[in-house]
């Protein structure tokens, strides 16, 4: 069963993937092994596909570097839940198809809790070793993004329709 990795407030893009381990420096195949290299060095080796990241306020502040969320994507994390996200990073997460939910679970979940999350309904079920358990209903992604997520990613949507989700189709086709 997927587990929780809990972080604090203001986890920045340098925390998620330090700049010096960018793919073009560390190598396209291994850069993800440096995820959270400084703040949780054991993360990349121990994270399992589907594991959930629980963050505090302003998750992902900092750089526009898409390889930060790409590293998490390569490690197949199941999603990120935080009370607020930095905007460039939030766009990058959704563009890559990483489920991101705006909700504060830092007072509910603990590191290592077992969780299951239905990313379509946002229903999260958890249980902790200390006997805590329960369910949380997470808010779904914004409406205009569901159209894109239905195609798998924004790139897939654009390639299929030649326009952005929610974009009005103009009469002369040039917008």
Partner 1 sequence: MRGMTVLTSRPQTMAEKILSRRGDQTVYAGDLAVVDVDQVMVVDSIAQSFIERMQRDLNAVPKYPERVSIVIDHVAPASTVSVAQAQKEAREYAAQTGVRLFDVGRGICHQVLVEENLARPGWIVLGSDSHSTTYGAVAAFGSGMGATDIALAAASGKTWLKVPESVKVSFTGELRPGVTAKDVALEMIRVLGADGATYQSIEMHAGDRFTRGERMTLANLCVEAGAKAGLVVPGGEILTSYGYDVPEWVYPDEGATYVREITVDLTALNPRMSAPSEVDNVHDVAELRGLKVDQVFIGTCTNGRIEDLHAAADVLRDRRVNPQTRLLVIPASSQVMEEAMVDGTLLTLQRAGAVLGTPGCGPCMGRHQGVLAPGEVCVSTSNRNFIGRMGDKDAKIYLASPAVAAATAVMGQIALPADLPEAVA
Instruction: Report the alpha-carbon distance of residue 162 to residue 160 in Å, rounded.
Output: 6
Among 1, 8, 19, 132, binds partner 1 (CB under 8 A): 19
Least spacing, CB of residue 153 vs partner 1, in Å: 8
Among 4, 105, 109, 154, binds partner 1 (CB under 8 A): 154
Q: Can you state the angle between helices 143-150 and 154-161, rounded to 10 degrees? A: 80
Q: Which residues pair with 127 in a beta bridge?
A: 114, 133
Interaction residues for partner 1, span 35-54 (CB under 8 A)? 37-39
CB 98 within 8 A of CB 106: no
| Residue 33 binds to partner 1 (criterion: CB under 8 A) | no
CB closer to partner 1, 86 vs 138? 86
| Residue 7 binds to partner 1 (criterion: CB under 8 A) | no
| Residue 74 binds to partner 1 (criterion: CB under 8 A) | no
Given the rule CB under 8 A, which of 42-50, 100-108, 116-124, 156-164 is the region that contacts partner 1? 156-164
CB closer to partner 1, 125 vs 158? 158
Given the rule CB under 8 A, which of 47-55, 73-81, 91-99, 119-127 is the region that contacts partner 1? 91-99
**Torsions phi, psi for 85 (to 5 deg):** -120, 150
| Residue 114 binds to partner 1 (criterion: CB under 8 A) | no
Instruction: Report the alpha-carbon distance of residue 104 to residue 162 in Å, rounded.
Output: 36
Instruction: Report the alpha-carbon distance of residue 94 to residue 102 in Å, rounded.
Output: 12
Strand ranges inside the chain, DSSP E? 4-6, 52-54, 79-82, 100-102, 114-118, 123-127, 133-137
| Residue 171 binds to partner 1 (criterion: CB under 8 A) | no
Q: What is residue 66's DSSP assignment?
A: T
User: Residue 2 corresponds to which tokens in the numbers above?
Assistant: 């997927």
- Nearest partner of 3 among 39, 65, 48, 67, judged by Cα: 48
Would you tell me which residues interact with partner 1 (CB under 8 A)? 10, 12, 14-15, 18-20, 22-25, 27, 37-39, 57-58, 61-67, 69-70, 84-88, 91-92, 95-96, 144, 154-155, 158-159, 162-168, 170, 175
């Amino acid at each position: 069963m997927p587990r929780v990795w809990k972080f604090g407030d203001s986890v920045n893009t340098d925390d998620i993937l330090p700049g010096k381990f960018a793919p073009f420096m560390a190598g396209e195949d291994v850069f993800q092994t440096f995820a959270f290299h400084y703040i949780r060095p054991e993360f990349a080796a121990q994270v399992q596909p589907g594991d959930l990241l629980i963050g505090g306020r302003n998750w992902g502040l900092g750089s526009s570097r898409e390889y930060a969320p790409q590293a998490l994507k390569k490690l197949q994390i199941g999603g990120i839940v935080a009370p607020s996200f930095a905007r460039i990073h939030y766009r990058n997460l959704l563009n890559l198809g990483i489920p991101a939910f705006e909700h504060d679970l830092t007072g509910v979940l603990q590191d290592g809790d077992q969780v299951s999350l239905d990313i379509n309904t946002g229903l999260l079920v958890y249980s902790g070793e200390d006997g805590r358990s329960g369910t949380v209903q997470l808010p779904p992604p914004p409406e205009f993004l569901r159209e894109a997520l239905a195609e798998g990613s924004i790139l897939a949507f654009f390639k299929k329709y030649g326009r952005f989700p929610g974009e009005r189709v103009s009469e002369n086709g040039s917008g």
